[in-house]
Amino acid sequence: MMLLKAPRQILREIEREGGDIDRIQARLKRELARLRTQLEKELRNFLSDKRNVSKGDRLSLATAVKTVRELDRMLIDAGFPEFLDSRTEAFGELTRSSLKYFKNLGQAYKLSDVSLDAFDAYIRLTEATLVTEIQARLLSPIKTALFQSSFGSLSRDEALSYVSTIADNIPLSRVEQTLDWAFESFQRAVTAETADRLGLEIFQYVGPDDALTSPQCQAMLSVNTHGAEGMLFRDEITTDLHEDLVYDPLINGGHPNCRHKWVPVSTEYAESQGFRLQ
Amino acid sequence: MAFTFRIEAKTLKLDEGQIRKGLDFARIGEEELRSTEARIRKELEKGRNVDGARLSPYSSSYLRAIDAGLVKGKSPGHRTPNLSATGEMLNAMQTKPLKDGAQIFFGGQHKANKGLKARRTLNPDGTIKRVPKKGVRLKKPVGSSRAVSNAEIAAANEAIGREFFGYGAEDLKRIEKRLDKEIDKILQSIVKTE
């Protein structure tokens, strides 16, 4: 009988220990969530407070991003990657807050070479194009990496390392390919954004024409609807240009890893190349 | 690595106020810089700069690597120095408005150690093999996570004789014509309103 009682006691002990661990974990989660909320609140307050940029000081968005990145690392280390998805979603809002902050102070929308077009392109790309084209598990970390690389100080190697850590069950080559694609698309999206702002309607397809050039890129380089090779109105730049085009050519070129780009040009330049407006 | 488009309205010998009010230098500048970007790209495909001058050829070791199919983005036998292996640097050309003009620059970072070309530019001591002449010095310790920007890659190319980033005579002629057209518009509107 005693022998039967001992295992029950042990089981009860284990059960109690397990309960304690669950409680500790739940408490840790609550504390981390509180910390995250607090940090984001502080960041937003900082972003919207004019006093923080007195005497010509500029908001260091890179510092803010670095702080958030530290929090990301902490969440991963603590074994709570599920928090990361909801947390990184806040970047869209953070970007908008930053823009508002810059606008309030009448400051240039830039950090180094970053422009308003770049911010707008980031928002459009991450909220539209990437959402439909990148697999769900990679989306959040890629959005974060793109933001931190473009507006912060994260290097491309660090970005790859960051994304692959989070998406650890996805092959590295796949992660790298997707990340490269996001970076390439971002530069084209910035250009498209500039064209929108300037109201430029004519684009020229530029890039190498050699043995490696894909049939769809060759088709776009040589398309001649208006008297000038590789030049089209924006509305005409669609996947209808070639059967192998899958993604919007203005943002993606001919395909992932494409060396080409649609560049907006002035009417004067287009006409000098033989482009007929009518 | 950037160049700018600025206009001194005084040189136009017209009332500066009227000209400044009517001419949107920033917009015109950005539009013409984008057009210049397209021309830079078109000429580069022929291995030339915007003035038609041939760019310094690739080194013999790089050409051997191209012919051996070791350079990503370069087809064997295609030896034209078009500065386009992955297209990453050239596709990163962006413009932005300034107070009285516009600027074209290379945005973003270059993917580190991508392809043979990036690796071969590093010396064993971690510095770039050829040090640019015009005050642009690239130092990237091997294995460092510091990103090399597309602007730095472009500057390094310029420094070794591949001066591709700038206006050509044709661009200046086009811009002059454009300004004439814009000033004509302003003069016509002044005549109408007066």
Q: Are residues A183 and A140 in the same domain?
A: yes
Last residue of a domain, one of A199, A220, A255: A199
Contacts 24+ apart (CB under 8 A), B186-189: B186/B18, B186/B19, B186/B22, B186/B23, B189/B22
Note whether B90 contacts A190, CB cutoff 8 Å: no
Q: Which of B86, B108, B146 sits opposite A259 (nearest CB)?
A: B86
Q: Are residues A210 and A191 in the same domain?
A: no
Q: Are residues A148 and A171 in the same domain?
A: yes
Contacts of B90 in chain A (CB under 8 A): 207, 261
The residues in A 1-30 lying below 8 A from B, measured between CB atoms, are none
Q: Which residues have a Cβ under 8 Å from the Cβ of B111 and sit 6 or more positions away?
A: A156, A180, A183, B86, B88, B118
**Per-domain residue ranges of chain B:** 2-107+164-193
Q: Are residues A68 and A142 in the same domain?
A: yes
Residue of B nearest to A190 (CA): B94
Any B CB within 8 A of A186 CB = yes
Residue A52 domain-assigned?
no
Note whether A208 contacts B94, CB cutoff 8 Å: no
Looking at chain A, how many residues does it have?
278
Residue A40 domain-assigned?
no
Give tens-digit pLDDT for A165-221: 887 788 888 888 888 888 999 999 999 999 999 999 999 999 999 999 999 999 999
Residues A205, A258: contact at Cβ < 8 Å? no
Q: Are residues A84 and A165 in the same domain?
A: yes
Distance between B131 CA and the closest CA of chain A, angstroms: 22
Q: Which residues pair with B98 in a beta bridge?
A: B101
Q: Are residues A208 and A195 in the same domain?
A: no
Q: Are residues A194 and A231 in the same domain?
A: no
CB atoms within 10 A of CB A18: 10
Residues A211, A212, A215, A219, CA torsion sign:
negative
Tell me the ipTM for this assembly.
Answer: 0.77
Residue A31 domain-assigned?
no
Q: Are residues A165 and A229 in the same domain?
A: no
Element (H, E) at A142: helix A136-151
Any B CB within 8 A of A143 CB = no
Residue A81 domain-assigned?
yes
Residues B85, B71: contact at Cβ < 8 Å? yes
Residue A3 domain-assigned?
no
Residues A116, A109: contact at Cβ < 8 Å? yes
Residue A238 domain-assigned?
yes
Residues A250, A203: contact at Cβ < 8 Å? yes
Mutation site, A112, A122, A210, interface B, largest B CB count within 10 A? A210
Note whether A272 contacts B90, CB cutoff 8 Å: no
Count of domains forming chain A? 2
Last residue of a domain, one of A145, A165, A199: A199
Q: Are residues A134 and A240 in the same domain?
A: no
Q: Are residues A159 and A217 in the same domain?
A: no
Residue A22 domain-assigned?
no
Q: Are residues A211 and A260 in the same domain?
A: yes
Residues A149, A214: contact at Cβ < 8 Å? no
Any B CB within 8 A of A117 CB = yes
Last residue of a domain, one of A165, A199, A233: A199
Residues of chain A predicted below pLDDT 50 = 1-5, 54-62, 86-92, 94-96, 98-99, 101-112
Note whether A157 contacts B35, CB cutoff 8 Å: no
Q: Which residue has the tokens 């390919």?
A: A177
The pLDDT profile of chain B, 194 residues, written as one tens digit per residue, is 566 666 555 444 556 666 666 778 888 889 999 999 999 999 999 999 888 899 989 888 888 888 888 888 888 888 999 999 889 999 999 888 877 778 888 888 787 544 433 333 434 444 444 433 333 334 444 444 456 778 778 888 887 778 888 888 888 888 888 888 888 887 777 665 54
- Owning domain of residue A259: 200-272
Q: Are residues A70 and A173 in the same domain?
A: yes
Q: Which of A158, A190, A263 sits opposite B38 (nearest CB)?
A: A263
Residue A153 domain-assigned?
yes
